[in-house]
Amino acid sequence: MGLKVYVSGEMKEKKHASISVYDHGLLYGDGVFEGIRAYNGKIFRCMEHIERLFNSAKGIALEIPLTKKELHEAIENTLDVNNLSDAYIRVVITRGVGTLGLDPTKCPDPQVIIITDSICLYPKEMYENGLEVITVPTARTAHSALSPKIKSLNYLNNIMAKIEAKQAGVVEAIMLNSEGYVAECTGDNLFIVKNGTLVTPPPEAGILEGITRQVVMDLAQTASLPVKEQQLTRFDLYIADECFLTGTAAEVIPVVKIDSRQIGDGTPGNITKQLLDLFRQETCYNSVIDR
């Protein structure tokens, strides 16, 4: 039996799960989404993700045709139907079918898609040895253009940065904002460690406020590691003792090289490793996933 995908109230076989070519989600990237994980049968930080999804939707004046509770149940049902206890969950809300013009008020029927599957962003050895990343020319979208807090179906800004990284032979890009401060990676938030303190760009640097970012900040605080939000420049990255990225799909992954410069001693740092362990305990994925 193949994977089933929830499409606006129905469970469809993966190969038959589709939406209209007139859906503005496709025609204009008009919609919002969330990436969520389930570990050991439990949806990790479910309410935080649902809240962020509803805020993203409100931000683009899109009404999700389900209540938060109904959406939660639909996610649980999709996991159950597929018999999954460890999964990557993609919830997508599209504006729905409309005319061949931008006007979203001509799209009366937003669509809800829930995919439950697996994801592997980076090879296993990169979690052990660390990633090499570069800063790229494409700047993160400015607040004044489209708030990076909206997790919209418009990811071209991030995709441009990803292309620049891949063309340079690395798997991930650090995006700066239009003022030249560090914002985030294409689908992950960024942390550095300097003199024992964890530092990450503040929301006003133009980031998606990652749920994993918050989990890591909370774990650090519980472990008495000092944490602060502060604007970072490329210089701060180059002189960092450690660096790592956080995200639902990526989880916590060390960075050991930025713009061809070695970070620390070129291996994942001790505080990074400590947080990686704490994160694994928090998600219990140690015991249930054999990567």
Which residues would be at the binding site for ligand PMP (CB under 6 A)? Answer: 35, 158, 184, 187-189, 208, 210-213, 246-249
Which residue lies nearer to ligand PMP by CB, 177 or 189? 189
68 part of the active site: no
Catalytic position from the list 42, 106, 151, 162: 151
Question: Which residue, 145 or 239, is less far from ligand PMP as judged by CB?
Answer: 145
Angle at 133 between CA 257 and CA 131, to 5 degrees: 65
Q: How far is the CB of 252 from ligand PMP (least distance, A)?
A: 10
Q: Which residue is nearest to ligand PMP (CB)?
A: 210
CB of 140 to ligand PMP, least distance (A): 8
- Cβ nearer to ligand PMP, comparing 31 with 247: 247
Q: Among residues 107 and 219, whose Cβ is nearest to ligand PMP?
A: 219
Return d(Cα 216, Cα 11) in angstroms, integer.
35
In the complex, minimum distance from the CB of residue 214 to ligand PMP, in angstroms, rounded to a whole number: 8
Q: Kindly tell me which of 132 and 184 has the beta carbon lying closer to ligand PMP.
A: 184
Q: How far is the CB of 189 from ligand PMP (least distance, A)?
A: 5
CB of 105 to ligand PMP, least distance (A): 28
Active site residues: 151
